[in-house]
Amino acid sequence: MAKVQLRSNFEYGTSRWAVRRAQWRALGLTNEDMLKPKIAVVNTSSELSSCFSHLDEVSRVVKRSILEAGGYPFEIRTAAPSDFITSAGRRGGYILPTRDLIVNDIEVAVEGAQLDGMLFLGSCDKTSPGQLMAAARLDLPSIMVICGYQKSGSWRGRHMDIEEVFLHAGHVAAGKVTPAELEEMSDNAVLGPGVCAGMGTANSMHIVCEALGMTLPGSAPVAAMSERMFANARASGRRIVEMVGEDLRPRSILTPAAFANASACVLAVSGSINCIKHLQAIACEAESPTDVYAIFESLSARIPVLAAVRPNGEDLIEDFDAAGGTQALLQQLRPLLQDAPTVSGPSMLAQLDPAVVRNPEVIRPLERPFSAQPAIVIIKGNLAAEGAIVKMGLTHDKVTRFRGPARIYHSREDALAGLARGEIRRGNVVVMRCMGVRGGPGMSMASALVFALDGAGMGEDVAVITDGQLSGLVNRGLVVGEITPETLAGGPLWAARDGDIIAIDVPGRSITLDVDEAEIARRLAGEPAPRPGAATGWLSIYQRTVQPLARGASLIPIREELP
Q: Is 489 exposed, middle or buried (0-12, 13-18, 19+ CB in 10 A)?
A: middle
Residue 39's H or E segment, with its range, is strand 38-43
Whether 272 sits among the annotated catalytic residues: the reply is: no
Distance (Å) of CA 457 to CA 329, 381, 389, 450, 481: 36, 29, 24, 11, 21
Sheet holding 142-146, edge to edge: 72-77, 38-43, 117-122, 142-146
Is residue 144 within 8 Å of 208, Cβ to Cβ?
no
Helices vs strands, H then E, count in the chain: 20, 14
Distance (Å) of CA 329 to CA 210, 353, 362, 415, 534: 11, 13, 10, 39, 46
d(CA 200, CA 93): 19
Is residue 330 within 8 Å of 209, Cβ to Cβ?
no
Distance (Å) of CA 469 to CA 1, 266, 326, 388, 500: 47, 18, 26, 11, 23
Spatial CB neighbours of 2, under 8 Å, sequence gap ≥ 6: 36, 37, 116, 241, 244, 245
d(CA 191, CA 209): 25
Spatial CB neighbours of 64, under 8 Å, sequence gap ≥ 6: 234, 237
Q: Is 76 exposed, middle or buried (0-12, 13-18, 19+ CB in 10 A)?
A: middle
d(CA 152, CA 557): 41
β-sheet bridge partners, residue 503? 403, 512
β-sheet bridge partners, residue 108? none
Is residue 108 within 8 Å of 76, Cβ to Cβ?
no
Tell me, what DSSP letter sits at residue 476?
Answer: -
Question: Which residue in 49, 471, 510, 554 is the catalytic one?
Answer: 471
Is residue 283 within 8 Å of 552, Cβ to Cβ?
yes
Q: Phi and psi for 192 in degrees, rounded to 5?
A: 180, 180
What residues are labeled active site?
471
